[in-house]
Amino acid sequence: MDYNWMMAVAILLPVVAAILVYILRQYHVRGIIVVVTAIALIINSILFLLKGSQTFTPANAQLWDTVVTVLDYLILLFYIYAGISLKNWLVLIFALTQIVPLAYFEFGMGGKAALEAINPTFVVDHLAIVMTLVISIVGSLICIWAIRYMYDHEHHNHIEKSRQPRFFFWLVLFLGAMNGLVFANNLIYLYFFWEVTTLVCFQLIAHDLNKEAVNNAARALWMNSIGGTGLILAMIYLFVKVGPDSLSVAKIISGGIAPALLLLPVALLCFTGMIKAAQMPFQTWLLGAMVAPTPVSALLHSSTMVKAGVYLVVRLAPAFAGTKLGIMVALVGAFTFMAASGLAISQTTGKRVLAYSTIANLGLIIACAGINTPLSISAAILLIIFHAVSKGLMFLCAGTIEHIVWSREIEDMEGLAAKAPMTTAITTIGVLSMFLPPFGMLLAKWLALEASFTIPLAGILFVIASAATIVFWAKWLGRLMQVLPKLGSKIESLSLSYTVPLWVLVLGIFGLGLGVGPVYEGLVKNAVANVIASGQALTTSATGIVVNGVTAVSSNPSFAVGSYPVWPLFVVFAVGILIPFIFVAVKPGELRPVYLCGEQVEGADADEWYSTADAKTKVQLGGFYFKGALSEAALNPWTYTLSIALLVILFGVVFLAIGGAI
């Protein structure tokens, strides 16, 4: 297909579809439009993969430049309006810190002409292709899943006038903005799509329009506006210190600019990325975002928004290679990984556990970018892929469970395995795929740990985080399993809009996990080469992956650093979990009530016991949340102090290095 059309489908088709779902307000029409758009985006993203690395400048570039400029200011004016109408001064302040420098830069300093001269507008390299695959496939599946979810959501909340058209307008638009963002080479296009994602995020979080939703949306807006400000300041610095031709991503990472001049703008851009990726101390916007309907969380956490943040940091890795800035980026990420994993243990709400887990994994990805070796970048890109699929699935599971038990609290999910065996089985696969072998997430985490030796402190933080990860996932999963001794629970029936995306993602987890060798060879290897050209970290074989000794880390070529037998481990998983799951049978006569010191009420499936004065009392179990030691109240003073200190040191080393260079 013509490349013009491919770009149009990737960026503009979601816009058209968004407008259509807004105008045509029937449930079924909306469903058809969303499904068709999803299929088109998925096919289109595969075409990008087949086409390979390309650059692209639209035919009437002048026109598009004008459109982008006009929309930029419209968005910023809307932020000002939002700040004033919500009486949220932070929103207003950070809208002004964007619009004033941007206007001065573009029209006062001659930045507009410099930006228009940047060629090409878009660079679609292999890293961008990985991103567009993630966005288009996982993002589209979430949109399909949302069709039924939003219907149920409004039905359950007795909403008179449907707000679904508006919801799907922003949801579908998100995918286009993300595609534009990862393709953008011209910094003003990057900035524009960045702001669109911030705007869409604001609108989606505020969707339910209750007080909490609006407040949290405003928080997401002002925090990400700080990031936008960072992006503008980086542009101005580049323009003034380096020259008008430096306002493109390709130029920044080309190695053609003196490292000392690059440090500050790159630090600012990384800072921008970290805010979008909800790194500490900016994690609260993402935690607040979970008040939104679950498709929004699924989209924000898996394939869009936060992935834009980590994408930018990974993208910029060549620009901070070998600097102290790189070490600090790694430490900020590793610290967030550890702190967020610890905080997740004390969370009682399912979606909040997921949110902290996302923040933690984004931290790991950013830490990998900071470590900046072929091995760690491979880990980072594999994490982006696997995390999108697993976390997408986990949020869809959380949403499906929410619509079965009508609660987001983990405690209300006790014994879900009896109520909804299929959802529980899928959730189990989702949870296991987040942190255990043989699945892809663990493989990437294992790579990250093997890569961590250059910054041992990061390695130590990874290790503590990994241990905490085990605890919060396993105890959540454990609550779902706590069933009464009863047989013959019926498989629940769910709408196709729920089950199709769920099963596709489950297939994705197994397919990508088993096929990690081909995925690495066909997709990730080239993307890593876009970031770090020298050396190949991994060798794939028929059954697994070997971490090369010679190029990855070690100067001793005679032995490998590590090996991961992928296929054998999947066989072990099949033998240890899947086959027992299918074949283990319990006959009715073999079931016994649990041990209650001989005081239980008769009947195999009774969960009552004779308490004082033979009063029948129900057995009640409660999860362990360690509120005393690990709650936000207990840990946040530490996490904020340390994470802010890390950011201060990050900019400190940059200023010291600049001072030293002068």
Partner 1 sequence: MNAWIIAIVTVIVAPFIGGLLAGIDRRITARLQGRFGPPILQPFYDFFKLLGKAKIASSRLQLIWIYGYLVFMVTALLFLVLKLDLLLLVFVIGFAGVSFALGGFSSKSPYSHIGANRELMQMLAYEPVLLLFALGVFAVNGSFLISEIFNNPTPLLARLWPIFIAVLLILTIKLRKSPFDLATSHHGHQELIKGIMTEYSGPYYALIQLTEWYEYVLLLGLVYIFWANPWWAGLIVAAVAYILELLIDNITARMTVGWAVKFVWSVGLVLCVLNLIYFWLLPIKGVS
In the complex with partner 1, the residue whose CB is nearer, 48 or 439, is: 439
Cβ atoms of residues 244 and 116 within 8 Å: no
In DSSP terms, 547 is beta-bridged to 538, 562
362: part of which helix (H) or strand (E)? helix 350-371
The footprint of partner 1 (CB under 8 A) covers: 414-415, 417, 436-437, 442, 446, 449-450, 452-453, 456, 459-460, 463-464, 466-468, 470-471, 473-475, 477-479, 481-485, 487, 547, 549, 553-556, 559-565, 569, 572, 575-577, 579-581, 584-586, 590-596, 607, 619, 621, 623-624, 629
Reference 308, options 201, 161, 390; nearest CA is 201
Q: How far is the CB of 388 from partner 1 (least distance, A)?
A: 21
Rounded Cα distance between 30 and 67, Å, is 28
Q: How far is the CB of 22 from partner 1 (least distance, A)?
A: 45
Reference 141, options 349, 403, 381, 399; nearest CA is 399
In the complex with partner 1, the residue whose CB is nearer, 522 or 588, is: 588
Q: How far is the CB of 541 from partner 1 (least distance, A)?
A: 13
Rounded Cα distance between 135 and 143, Å, is 11
Return the biggest CA–CA distance within the chain: 87
Rounded Cα distance between 405 and 414, Å, is 10
Read off the amino acid at residue 499: T
Cβ atoms of residues 115 and 185 within 8 Å: no
In eight-state DSSP terms, residue 409 is: B
Q: How far is the CB of 447 from partner 1 (least distance, A)?
A: 10
Handedness of CA 192, 193, 195, 200 (dihedral sign): positive
Rounded Cα distance between 369 and 319, Å, is 11
In the complex with partner 1, the residue whose CB is nearer, 624 or 655, is: 624
In the complex with partner 1, the residue whose CB is nearer, 285 or 472, is: 472
Rounded Cα distance between 184 and 193, Å, is 8
Cβ atoms of residues 536 and 464 within 8 Å: no
- The values of phi and psi at residue 621, to 5°, are -110, 150
Cβ atoms of residues 2 and 48 within 8 Å: no
Rounded Cα distance between 182 and 122, Å, is 9
In the complex with partner 1, the residue whose CB is nearer, 316 or 418, is: 418
Q: How far is the CB of 342 from partner 1 (least distance, A)?
A: 10
Sort strands 545-547 and 562-564 into parallel, antiparallel or unpaired: antiparallel
372 Cα distance to chain centroid: 20
CB-CB neighbours of 492 under 10 Å:
13
